[in-house]
Amino acid sequence: MSEVLVVEKVRKAFGSEVVLEDISFRVPVHTATVFIGSSGSGKSTLLRCINLLEQIDDGIITLDGQEISAVEANVDEVRKKFGMVFQAFNLFPHKTVLENITLAPIHARGIEPEQAIAEALELLARFGLKDKAEQYPDRLSGGQQQRVAIIRSLALHPRMLLLDEITSALDPVLVNEVLSLVRDLKSDGMTMLLATHEMGFAKQVADEVCFLHKGRILEWGAPEDLLESPKLPETKDFLRRVHEAGRL
Amino acid sequence: MGRNSGDSSGVTPYDFGGQWQPSSHELARRASRKKKNNRNAIIATLSSVVVLGSLAIVVVTSPGWKSLSDTFFAWAYGVEVLPKIILGFGTNVVLTLIAGSSVAILGLTIALLRTSRSPALTPFRILSTIYVDLFRGIPMLLVILLVGFGIPALRLQGVTNNVLVLGTIAVIITYTAYVAEVIRSGILTVHPSQRAAARSLGLTHFQTLRHVILPQALRRVTPPLLNDLVALIKDTGLVSILGVTDAVRAAQISSSRTFNYTPYVMAAIVFLLITIPLTRFTDRTLRKSIERQNAQGNA
Ligand SMILES: Nc1ncnc2c1ncn2[C@@H]1O[C@H](COP(=O)(O)OP(=O)(O)O)[C@@H](O)[C@H]1O
Ligand SMILES: [Mg+2]
């Protein structure tokens, strides 16, 4: 199986605080790798480093065999190959749903507006949001907003998706519509890297789960192994706490 | 349908076509609300007439009223000098338009400079910070005097001595410092994740500014910028100190000839005719902008 993303020995520090250390993993095509770990363990920083929103301090990141962490890599070109969705404040509040989706295709990819609009409407229709095309984001529920954010990243035909805790700012009742969209994309063969707190969801979509603890990957493996019979005390401890929080 | 209409006739307010009809209960409520509103309007009118009326009577019957009205409200004289004042006000309007548009462009440029992180722009960033601190801290009248009288005193070759031009430049220098700060604060209030979202979509730095950051920033600072516009219109009157014949200067000339202050009052009224509607408009814009932000907070 060919690898889309390869991360080797990546390190990232903010000043003297080391946030990521010796991070290595691979994401084969059509698979999903899920990062779990407590808040502050470095999940967001890792995704931001991969998308070149942060500069790494050591290591190599390659996308389809090309080193994107190279100094001469074209940052804007690289970012178009990733579809990134954040926890919150994703959409541009001054633009309609349709304008949110077509902005980057028109300006970053140079697609004709008519074509960008047609493609956007097609995506919206596919995910049941066509009637929201002319609405502003503040008229949408949180779940609809996150779905539009995912669609917006799909409009760039990304090589893979980077999803950073896309449901943690949502009401529990809205989480499912977003997760089911991600599941659909997974079954369509989209390659993805996710950070999530939803262990049930991780079990469903992940091909591999990595447990991030204080900036290091402590344990990794198939979801049924790592989530059901973790080996390390840190992993057990984290999963127990997530479980308890879920029961509250 | 499980809903008790509270209607004494026992007829449901929903007819079979699903058309809603207000119940008799609701109709009664509306009638009594309307009555209450009418009563409130009558009370407001009465109390205003009594309070403001007695205030007017106190002023008009006071011993100094006669000389006061002769000195400030000699309407016949006021009407006589009005054309000159309006002609002078044309200068204020032109000055406002020229200064206003220059300030908008320069202020935006300096705000962008100060918020940019490009290393090549570091010297400009330092210079613009010094400039903004300096000119926000000096009374504008001093800047007008320094530029308007100071520059001609240098007797520089090819530099204008036209006081109108120099006065306009002084106003632009001062207001650009204010407006740059207002716009910069607007840029800083746009959440950093908006930039991250735009950049992660592959938009360049300038595309992000142009399509994502600036539209949100400018919309947020529209009310304070409109306030600055009102202040600018009034402050154009300060260039009269250089001898520019604007509305203030025109009033001063008429007034000093007759030792009557009615021309000043006329000039004030001319300014108010422009500034009051603009102030109302600013208020409405501010209210809308707050409503919009509240709506976003609820989303
Ligand atoms: N821009 C930054 N400057 C300094 N420290 C940061 C910055 N971003 C993140 N950090 C720190 O990096 C650590 C990991 O944060 P983050 O990647 O957001 O974790 P997670 O997403 O797993 O909650 C935290 O200790 C956080 O304080
Ligand atoms: Mg995070």
For ligand 1, mutation pick of A10, A14, A196 (most atoms within 8 Å of CB): A14
pLDDT at B203: 93
Residues A165 and A241 in one domain: yes
Looking up tokens 């989209």 gives: A190
Q: How much distance in Å is there from the Cα of A38 to the middle of ligand 2?
A: 9
Domain end among A158, A174, A198: A158
ipTM of the complex model: 0.86
The reported pLDDT for the residue numbered B2 is: 45
Token pair for A56: 């790494």
If you ran DSSP here, which 8-state letter would residue B209 be given? I
Asked if the model's pLDDT at residue B6 lies above 50, the reply is no
The contacts of residue A175 (CB under 8 Å, 6+ apart) are: A143, A167, A198
A165 and A239 share a domain?
yes
B201 with A156: Cβ contact below 8 A: yes
Q: Which of A115, A138, A158 is the last residue of a domain?
A: A158
CB distance from A235 to chain B under 8 Å? no
Same domain, residue pair A101 and A212? no
Total number of domains constituting chain A: 2
* pLDDT, mean of residues B4-33: 71
* Cβ neighbours of B193 in A, within 8 Å: 86, 88-90
Chain B CB within 8 Å of residue A118 CB: no
Of B2-6, B23-27, B234-238, the least confident: B2-6
Q: How far is the CA of B79 from the centre of ligand 2 (A)?
A: 70
CATH code, domain carrying A76: 3.40.50.300
Question: Nearest Cα to B266, choosing from B107, B119, B78?
Answer: B78
| Contact across the interface for B197 and A104, Cβ inside 8 Å | no
Structure tokens belonging to residue A87 = 């926890």
| Optimal mutation site among B190, B195, B201, B213, interface A, most CBs of chain A within 10 A | B201
> Final residue of a domain: which of A117, A136, A158?
A158
Provide the b/e sequence for A61-80 (b: ≥16 CB within 10 Å): bbbeeeebbeeeeeeeebbb
Asked whether the beta carbons of residue A79 and residue B202 sit closer than 8 angstroms, the reply is yes
Write the Ramachandran bin of A128: left for phi over 0, alpha for psi from -120 to 50, otherwise beta: left
Instruction: Provide mean pLDDT across the span B78-92.
Output: 93
Q: Are residues A151 and A201 in the same domain?
A: no
Q: Which residue is closest to B210 within chain A, CA to CA?
A: A107
Q: Which domain holds residue A103?
A: 88-158
Cα Rg of chain A (Å, integer):
18
Burial environment of residue B24 by CB neighbours within 10 A (0 to 12, 13 to 18, 19 or more): middle
Is residue B298 very low, low, confident or very high in pLDDT (cuts 50, 70, 90)?
very low
Under an 8 A CB cutoff, do B207 and A107 touch?
yes
At B1, the pLDDT band (50, 70, 90 cuts) reads very low
A108:B296 CB<8 A: no
Residue A145 and residue A96: Cα distance in Å, rounded? 11
> What per-residue confidence (pLDDT) applies to B16?
58
Whole-number pLDDT of residue A87: 87
Q: What percent of chain B is modeled with pLDDT above 90?
A: 66
Q: Are residues A147 and A175 in the same domain?
A: no
Pocket test for ligand 1, best of A19, A20, A56, A217 (most atoms within 8 A of CB): A19
A54 Cα: distance to centroid of ligand 2 (angstroms): 14
DSSP for chain A, written as a single string: --EEEEEEEEEEEETTEEEEEEEEEEEETT-EEEEE--TTSSHHHHHHHHTTSS--SEEEEEETTEETTSTTS-HHHHHHHEEEE-SS--S-TTS-HHHHHHHHHHHTS---HHHHHHHHHHHHHHTT-GGGTTS-GGGS-HHHHHHHHHHHHHTT--SEEEEESTTTTS-HHHHHHHHHHHHHHHHTT-EEEEE-S-HHHHHHH-SEEEEEETTEEEEEE-HHHHHHS--SHHHHHHHHHHHHHHH-
Same structural domain, A77 and A189: yes
Mean pLDDT, range B77-93, rounded to an integer: 93
Ligand 1, residue A46: give the atom nearest the CA.
17
Model confidence at B285: pLDDT above 90: no
Does residue B295 register a pLDDT over 70? no
> Using an 8 Å Cβ cutoff, are B253 and B264 in contact?
no
Which whole number is the average pLDDT over B152-175? 90
pLDDT at B7 over 60: no
A169 or B215: which leads in pLDDT? B215
Q: What is the per-residue pLDDT across B108-120, written as a single tens digit (0 to 9) for each? A: 999 999 988 888 9
Closest chain A residue by Cα to residue B293: A138
On whether the CB atoms of residues B177 and B136 are closer than 8 A, the answer is yes
Supply the pLDDT for residue B289.
81
Contact at CB, A86 and B196, closer than 8 angstroms: yes
Q: Is the model's pLDDT at B297 over the cut of 60?
A: no
Take residue A153 and report the two structure tokens written for it: 């990243």
**Ligand with the closest atom to the CA of A211:** 1
| A200 and A77 fall within a common domain | yes
Q: Go through the domains of chain B in sequence order and give each one's CATH number.
A: 90-235 (1.10.3720.10)
Low pLDDT (below 50) residues in chain A: none
Ligand 1 neighbour A43 (Cβ under 6 A): yes
pLDDT value at residue B3: 47
